[in-house]
Structure 1
Amino acid sequence: MHHRPRSDARRRGSVRSVSDVRGASIAAAFYGDDFTGSVDALLQFARNGWSGRLFVGTPSADDLADAAATSDVVGIAGIARSLRPDELESELRPALAQLASLHPAVLQYKACSTADSSPEIGSLGRVIEVGRSVVADAGGTAVPVPLLFAQPDFGRYTAFGHHFAAERGTVYRLDRQPTMSTHPATPMTESDLAVHLGRQTHLPIASLAFPAYTSPPELAAALEGSSAAGVVLDALDASHLEVVGAAIAHLAASVDGPVFAIGSGGLSWGLSATGRRDAEPIPTGSTATGPVLVVSGSRSPTTRRQADAADAAGWLVRPLGLGAHDTVDDVLTALASGRSVALTSDDALETGDAGTGAGDALLETIAAAAASVVLSAARAGATRRVIVCGGDTSSRVTALLGARSLSIAANPWSNVVLLRAHADDPAVDGLELLLKGGQVGDDDLFERVRDLAR
């Protein structure tokens, strides 16, 4: 696959979208720092008619090339959000290098819309360093990394470099948002994103406020002319996302190699919005029937409220068994009778099961237990619909299920997306999955998903 230089592409006025960038073999490629984020990116591209394919883990070179030949965007779902800096680089560098080999106009690191990260866990500062290095190794031009975390339709906004996030109808400054300010792994203590990210890297980080967004070419010029390694960008509504997306397209047309950018699903939407395509609408209903199985590794109050609402609606709700001798007989019996089931981990941890460990070991224990229950239920024919709660848990459970790739099955409402698993195991192949971030969804989410098949 030959990458044509873009030395004649400074006529920025002719570029409307990253799909128009000359020399790019594919419009965009992305690495998602967890599975829920990867799915959101896939959805945002699809909403603008862009076809996509999301790989679970490292794809073969042939599979990657085939996907690039038939898709507008290709993604790899990863786990970098939960890793320490040295582990993060080992995970991220080869994945970005694989994606860069496709010669995309833009190479996106899909980050959480709350920018949760720290110098120790999921360091976005290290991501900036690695991404710039990968682009340089691919012969790309060194330009500042656009940083866009806003996702207005999801209640995430950036204004004058400060980030805000909604919770239960109220918009909070990020360091005062109830969930993110007390996040167990990466509590947010700073709303100024340039300051927050600057603590995670030796490279200079700047911000550019939305009053400067007079036109995509001028924003592109401001980005290209910045002396910072990364530039935080504002967005308060969809029009700002479109300007940013078009500006990045102009920037991509002026350099060799992909533009490396970091951002939320808002960035994915903005990149594709200026190159919307005609496509069949995404289905809104579920094709699977029967009860729903929920397995949760989330300790978020949001997920707890969802479990409590399911309990009140008649579901079997109990702690996920983490011990070696726990059984799932009651789960299989309930599902066989048509009763939906939710297995939670916040109360499972409160029971103090011995030998479950802490930190990464505990996360692996929870994921293994959750995957085991799902496999037992799927192989027994007890359910074809599964909700996995928690971004880190979702990535691990999906891998443990043996899914090779995921495609969009339905988008019932808002940013809720149902996925179809593709796997060698016939019990897993075709399984309908909802991979849910811990703080995502209204209290009645589980019930609403169950009702989709009624």
Structure 2
Amino acid sequence: MTFAYYADDFTGAVDSMLQFRRAGLAGVLSTGIDGLPEMRDGADSGETVPDVIGIAGIARSLPTERLEAEVGPALALLAATGARVVQYKACSTADSSAERGSLGRVCEIAIERFGPQQIPTVFAQPGFGRFTFFGHHFAAEAGEVFRLDRQPTMRSHPATPITESELALHLGAQTALPVATLSWLELEAAIGSGDDAAVTRSLSGEGSGIVVCDALNDAHLEALGRAILAGARAASPGPRFVLGSGGLSLGIGRALGGDAPELPTRAPAADGPCLVLSGSRSMQTWAQINAAVAAGWRCVDLRRPGAVAETVALHAAGHHTILQTTDPSGGSMREADIVSGMVAAGRECLRQRPETRLVLCGGDTCGAILRELGVRSLTLSAAPWGNVVLCEGVGQQGRIEVVLKGGQMGQNGLFEEVRLGEGRAPAHNMEKRTTL
């Protein structure tokens, strides 16, 4: 096996698997480290070996002092697969701080596990409106491209608000490791000459450190992927560690190449009622909820007394139902209480209606909910909604249909599209104004 990864939230884990599949590589995603030996043992017993194995984790939501216990064992298991490259899948908006989900600390843990190395770090994902230019990161929202520290969602993120767009400074505040930057100009020179050797050298220097990589388009991602693989072949016996977004997964996936069939771009309509469990505080998710309510969905605020019982009753009666803490006019609620309430509703709804198509919103809450529901692994079924995909989950409830949605993902009519099985590609109009 050439590639394995750990994702610091569940929506990001599915995104990486989708990007690999777009590059022709099929994979299986475990919802925790306990499921990884099962997948590896299955491959050893003669079952089809996946091109990529992933672990969906929860590191993004953890205090930094708890990262070693979450990330260290996962990296060790991934290295044991024999993968030449191990990715830590981080959000394309670099969600992290010195206190929570620290990506700097993650790099230190990787070096402790895998030995001294330069760590290529790529947050760009052009197909999702994420770009890095001269070390500064930019992210699209509502058709406009903002410098990361001015993007409305990330500027006011409830857990890790971004105050710095220069990624070397953002990461440098989280680690004592040196942080360098690889310019897009070097990538353009490599593409123009057809020779990635200079990029490979820039990503494979002596000692330990982090190399933040510019990227403005898929050609840049592919050049980085080729250079990373070349460096991995020349490296020590241990795996090459890289950190970054689904854009990095796509770049490496295309450099590897594969022949897995494309995912279907349409899905059948839901067999039964849909259930949305939303712990997201994104305004995009709130717009999606409002659009669904306008289309006849029922919406229950978890912060209201009796919300779980009301949700179960509506769902049992066949209504497409949303249980949420997304409404910005609602009060705050402890994350543990959000998870426990949504798990209680989800478990009972799935027991009564196993044909439910389940939608989970919010990168920080998706993982905890899925794990509590007993889902052990995920595979991709269809990609009708751009970067939002239909998955099959396997676990204590048997097989279920599940969609995982990060806060900023999907268009306003997404929930109706999920219900109907309809789809359309996401539109990123990059001709609009860029906010610097």
Distance 1:202 1:369 in 2: 40
For 2:360, the equivalent position in structure 1 comes to: 388
Correspondence 1:342 to 2:316: no
Aligned-partner residue type, residue 41 of structure 2? D
Cα distance change on mapping 1:235 and 1:434 into 2, 3 Å: same
Q: Which runs of 4+ in 1 moved over 4 A?
A: none
Cα distance change on mapping 1:94 and 1:55 into 2, 3 Å: same
Correspondence 1:147 to 2:127: no
Distance 1:234 1:72 in 2: 27
For 1:80, the equivalent position in structure 2 comes to: 59
Of the three residues 359, 364, 373, the one matched with 1:401 is: 373
Residue 294 of structure 1, CA deviation: 0.6
Residue 245 of structure 1, CA deviation: 0.3
CA contact (8 A) 1:48 1:276 kept: yes
Aligned-partner residue type, residue 260 of structure 2? A
**Where do 1:22-171 residues align within 5 Å?**
26-59=1-34, 62-66=37-41, 70-136=49-115, 142-171=116-145
For 1:301, the equivalent position in structure 2 comes to: 283
Residue 35 of structure 1, CA deviation: 0.4
SS for the counterpart of 1:419 is: strand
1:335-391 per-residue CA deviation (whole Å, 9 max, x = no partner) reads: 344431111113498257xxx5xxxxx112101111111111111117520111100
Residue 276 of structure 1, CA deviation: 2.1
Aligned-partner residue type, residue 433 of structure 1? V
Distance 1:164 1:201 in 2: 22
CA contact (8 A) 2:278 2:360 kept: yes
1:267-322 per-residue CA deviation (whole Å, 9 max, x = no partner) reads: 11111102322222212333442221111111111111111111111111120257
For 2:348, the equivalent position in structure 1 comes to: 376
Query: Which one is further off, 27-36 or 436-445?
Result: 436-445
CA contact (8 A) 2:386 2:410 kept: no
CA contact (8 A) 2:118 2:210 kept: yes
1:98-139 per-residue CA deviation (whole Å, 9 max, x = no partner) reads: 111122111100000000110001100001100111112xxx
CA contact (8 A) 1:322 1:366 kept: no
Residue 442 of structure 1, CA deviation: 1.4
Distance 1:59 1:180 in 2: 33
CA contact (8 A) 2:30 2:36 kept: no
Correspondence 1:195 to 2:169: yes
Correspondence 1:224 to 2:204: yes
Show structure 2 runs of 5+ residues with no match: 424-436
Distance 1:128 1:349 in 2: 38
Of the three residues 274, 296, 299, the one matched with 1:314 is: 296
Show structure 1 runs of 5+ residues with no match: 1-25, 137-141, 357-361
CA contact (8 A) 2:119 2:241 kept: yes
Distance 1:105 1:242 in 2: 17
For 2:427, the equivalent position in structure 1 comes to: none
1:2-43 per-residue CA deviation (whole Å, 9 max, x = no partner) reads: xxxxxxxxxxxxxxxxxxxxxxxx111100001001111111
Cα distance change on mapping 1:332 and 1:369 into 2, 3 Å: closer
For 1:10, the equivalent position in structure 2 comes to: none
Distance 1:179 1:397 in 2: 23
Of the three residues 263, 271, 275, the one matched with 1:282 is: 263
Correspondence 1:423 to 2:395: yes
Distance 1:400 1:274 in 2: 36
Of the three residues 409, 414, 419, the one matched with 2:386 is: 414
CA contact (8 A) 2:222 2:252 kept: yes
Distance 2:206 2:251 in 1: 21
Q: TM-score, normalised by structure 2?
A: 0.90
CA contact (8 A) 1:319 1:345 kept: yes
Distance 1:84 1:242 in 2: 33
Equivalent pairs, count: 411
Distance 1:118 1:279 in 2: 37
Aligned-partner residue type, residue 124 of structure 2? A
Identity, in percent, stands at 46
Aligned-partner residue type, residue 164 of structure 2? E
CA contact (8 A) 2:301 2:307 kept: no
Residue 398 of structure 1, CA deviation: 0.3
